[in-house]
Amino acid sequence: MHLWQPDSSEYQAAQIALITLRTIAKIKPSTVRYRILPSRAPLSLDDAALALTMLEKPVRCEASVDESTLVVACRPLQEPQSLNRRRHLGVRRTALWEGAVHQRCHGPAREAKILIHKGEDTITVSFEALRAWFRDYDMNYSLGLDGTATPPLGVCIVLEVEPPGTISVDDDQTDSLDP
């Protein structure tokens, strides 16, 4: 199987990366075109996923919006500390979700189909694609089990991707405990 085939785990991992970047950038999937830097050429979703599969992995990816175009910038992780962190996180996240798949589905995790969504923006991928995404793509996001969604026929679990969480510290000192 080639990297660019729609059912390859690497191609599906690139599609997971794109849905995640669309979610983080808060852009509607129906109006989006893509640019994968350094190229300035506009790409379709399929061509953008193909372009991501061709990158040296693992990569750190971020996105910005230019009108209705999602501009994706990825750089290879090369520093030993970054590579070790990516490897460690990839293994840990894979194990976490593999456990969830085992709890909810019949059969081996590698055969499970997973629906990933943000609202109406959805993609169905193999568990191996999720594993490849955890291994190959470094980006800020939040991923959780959507317990309210009923999985479609043939889908094991439904995951919802969100922008990364934020922490806000209120440093207001006007409320004093002193009498």
Give CA angle at 117 (154, 106), nearest 5°. Answer: 30
Mean pLDDT of the chain: 87
Q: Is residue 46 part of a domain?
A: yes
Phi, psi (5° rounding) for residue 78?
-125, -25
pLDDT digit string, tens, across residues 38-89: 999 999 999 999 999 999 999 999 999 998 899 999 999 999 999 999 999 9
Q: Is residue 89 part of a domain?
A: no
Does residue 175 surpass a pLDDT of 50? no
pLDDT digit string, tens, across residues 51-62: 999 999 999 999
Of residues 109 and 125, more confidently modeled = 125
108, amino acid identity: P
The predicted structure's pLDDT at residue 71: 96
pLDDT digit string, tens, across residues 141-174: 989 988 877 888 989 999 999 988 766 676 655 4
Whole-number Å distance between alpha carbons of 156 and 26: 27
Return the HEC string of 36-92: ECCCCCCECHHHHHHHHHCCCCCEEEEEEEECCEEEEEEEECCCHHHHHHHHHHHHH
Q: Please give the residue range of the domain that contains residue 110.
A: 9-76+105-162
Whole-number Å distance between alpha carbons of 140 and 162: 9
Q: Is residue 177 part of a domain?
A: no
Give pTM, 2 decimals.
0.87
Q: Is residue 156 part of a domain?
A: yes
Whole-number Å distance between alpha carbons of 179 and 21: 50
Decide: 69 and 47 in contact? Cβ < 8 Å. no
High-pLDDT (> 70) share of the chain, %: 89
Q: Is residue 72 part of a domain?
A: yes
Q: Is residue 28 part of a domain?
A: yes
Q: How far, in whole angstroms, is CA 43 from its chain's centroid?
A: 19
Q: How far, in whole angstroms, is CA 31 from its chain's centroid?
A: 19
The predicted structure's pLDDT at residue 164: 85
The predicted structure's pLDDT at residue 168: 64
Nearest CA to 131 out of 149, 154, 105, 108 is that of: 108
How many domains does the structure of the chain reveal? 1
Confidence of residue 5 (pLDDT cuts 50, 70, 90): confident
Q: Is residue 33 part of a domain?
A: yes
Q: Is residue 175 part of a domain?
A: no
For residues 94-109, give the mean pLDDT.
Answer: 87
Give CA angle at 82 (77, 83), nearest 5°. Answer: 70
Of residues 110 and 75, more confidently modeled = 75
The predicted structure's pLDDT at residue 116: 95
N-to-C CA span, the chain = 73
**H or E stretch covering 103:** helix 80-104
